[in-house]
Amino acid sequence: MADGVTIFQKLKWRGEVLAYDFLRLLLCWLPIDAISWLGGAVLKCIGPLTSKQHIVLTGLRTAFPGWDEAKIKATAKAQWENTGRTFAEFMFIGRLRMGERVTVSGTEHFKALIEAGQAAVMVGGHFANWEMLNVALAHSGLKMRITYRPLNNPYFDARIRKQRADFGVDLMTAKSGPRGAKELMIALKEGWSVGIMNDQKFNEGIAVDFFGHPAMTAPGPTRLALNTGAAFVPMNVVRTRGARFHATVYPPIRLATDGDRHAKIRKGTEDITAVIEGWITAHPDQWFWSHRRWDKSHYKKEQ
């Protein structure tokens, strides 16, 4: 825990965990389908009333300029419902079991990696309930480590880490800078595959085209694959019905092996961004639109 934290901040953090536990206690008697539905119903009503609604609508208008306003707002409401379901499901993630609630296609790519003894940089995005990617990876047969951003509340962060560990996910804190990159490269060279999200804004990244507009994007996943010889494998999940999901493992993206290093990194970053753009186009109601993917100036309210 960081030094210099006041007793009041610690009490606030503990209060947040207590509220989370109390909510879990209230809901634990319900079946997972009911919990998922309730979370979606609540956020579908509340989400459009928050300041995040402007971010959601701006993102949808940017990505789909040909849509009329009715379709934009209907998709925004549907994505709020998906987000609400995701947050509610996370509290009981142990109930979302492989085979029963989560199915996977493309597992031949897992098998090919295992047979070749090759590690992989598994790249996903914040779609449907993105935690289901971790469920699928935990059953992949690969030695997996999942990068993530620790929460500001250390008590809550410990609780989340434990919930993920309960279904076999070994979390690895994604540290910025050379030290973090070095730790990831060591893991890959030791045969661990690494799961990384690559669909959110990264201010220190590179600007690549995303729905026709430049978006700062992390080149780290591409760089890791190039530096270690790991496979660069896209993986996504969609919500099929209620609290049921289907994950897909895609063929590895072939990264350039010749030419300028910076050009190779840019090309790989552009390629995975294009794949993610395709996923969004196929299921626009299941992506996490309340994140500012483009520069803040892009979201200024119209005068």
Q: How much is the mean pLDDT over the chain?
A: 90
Q: pLDDT tier at 209 (50, 70, 90 boundaries)? A: very high
Q: pLDDT tier at 145 (50, 70, 90 boundaries)? A: confident
Residue 92 has pLDDT above 80, yes or no: yes
254: Cβ–Cβ under 8 A, 6 or more apart, which residues?
Answer: none
Q: What percent of the chain has pLDDT over 70?
A: 93
**Poorest-pLDDT segment among 87-91, 158-162, 234-238, 282-286:** 158-162
Of the candidates 247, 245, 221, 244, the one whose C-alpha atom is nearest the C-alpha of residue 236 is: 247
Q: Which residues on neighbouring strands pair with residue 247, listed in sequence order?
A: 104, 237
Residue-wise pLDDT for 253-281, tens only, equals 999 888 889 999 999 999 999 999 999 99
Distance CA 96, CA 90 (A): 9
Q: Where are the domains of the chain?
A: 7-293
Residue-wise pLDDT for 35-70, tens only, equals 999 999 999 999 999 999 999 999 999 999 999 999
Distance CA 127, CA 176 (A): 24
Residue-wise pLDDT for 174-203, tens only, equals 555 566 678 888 889 999 999 999 999 999
Residue 303 has pLDDT above 60, yes or no: no
pLDDT reported for residue 171: 61
pLDDT reported for residue 98: 86
Q: pLDDT tier at 26 (50, 70, 90 boundaries)? A: very high
pLDDT reported for residue 175: 53
User: Residue 289 in contact with residue 80, Cβ under 8 Å?
Assistant: no
Distance CA 107, CA 4 (A): 48
